[in-house]
Structure 1
Amino acid sequence: MNLTINHCIVLFNILFVVVYMSYLFKIKAFKMNAESLTHQPLFKAALTIPIISFFLLGFVAWNGHDFQIDTEGFNNFLNISKLPLAVLSLSIPLGVVVNNIHRTIQTDKQIKEAEKKNKVDFFYAHRKNTIEALQHLESLDIPLIKKNTKLEFENCYSTYRKCYPYASTTNSNFDASKDYIQNAELIWRQLVELFKKE
């Protein structure tokens, strides 16, 4: 009779582990996220499976033995509990492995967030420096027919947007617009031609 109960308990333990692992696959627990470690089903499994298996296998090992609180009882406990204690001791390395994987995921998320922030900071620094450079350009007085005209940038933000149309906080493409540069060169050539005529 005891042998049948022990077999049932061992089979129940194996079934428990298989069902729990199936559950972990179903909820995609092996794809952890950056939430805290205590919210990770895989971490809970790394603790739960060894602890429950310890008690189930322990029941099989301890069945038929008397409870003794002395040296002989303690030695007997250690002797008959080798497998349950070995299974219980798995919770520490499994928890450490899950913790290290989780730390890697959190670090990866922090790196991605830092890169995103750096892109935003770089965009605003580039825009600020370009606009300041445009604002500090000396204005030119151009003598045209019967009056002097001042040549200067009126809207530096608009000039920046036209010169760098692909730059944004999410895209670090600071290539100047070829059309804008060609138009600017054409206007300068036309101005040079006008000056030559006068």
Structure 2
Amino acid sequence: MNVTLHLAQQPEADELLGRSPLAALVGMLLDQQIPMEWAFSGPYAIAQRLGTDDLDAHEIATYDPEAFAALLATRPAVHRYPGSMAKRIQQLCQYLVEHYTGNAAAVWEGVETGDELLRRLKDLPGFGPQKAQIFLALLGKQLGARPQGWREAAGPYGEPKSFRSVADITGPESLAKVRAHKQEMKAAAKAAKSSGKSV
């Protein structure tokens, strides 16, 4: 895996995401309740604070939990909720060590069907159905992991040029389209809530 991503909107952080499967997974894990660029620059910030140029699942899995939480909380914080996210990142890395010998890419390498890949992603700590589908779409659209039926397994996020998620962001123009889509969804949800309906 060695591609150019544009999710952090910072060259060094995006370079790490494009070459490190674990960094990509951690960025996706962090992508909640904060702006996308903040989330996906997180893996680079963590690597810098660990004094390395990559993330290692074994190192993070066995890191002292309080020290790791403090590492994420150091300003500028890696996330709005650094303590809880530090715990989730360690749980993810512990799972990867236990099930994939610490190799994040093994989650998707050699998988034959999109349904199997979706199941594997949903099994990861911190990855619910939606997050799993978005990451599956990112794998298929930008990271070269395309098992049979991957678009269908990714649901609406797998549709070509759907601009629904990070899977479609390749630069400023597509970022603006994804932002616009998310604003539309929020507005629709708000309108439905005020009228007493569910979207």
Quickly name the TM-score band, shorter chain normalised: under 0.3
TM-score normalised by length of structure 1: 0.21
Larger Rg belongs to? 1
TM-score normalised by length of structure 2: 0.21
Higher strand share: 1
Higher helix share: 1
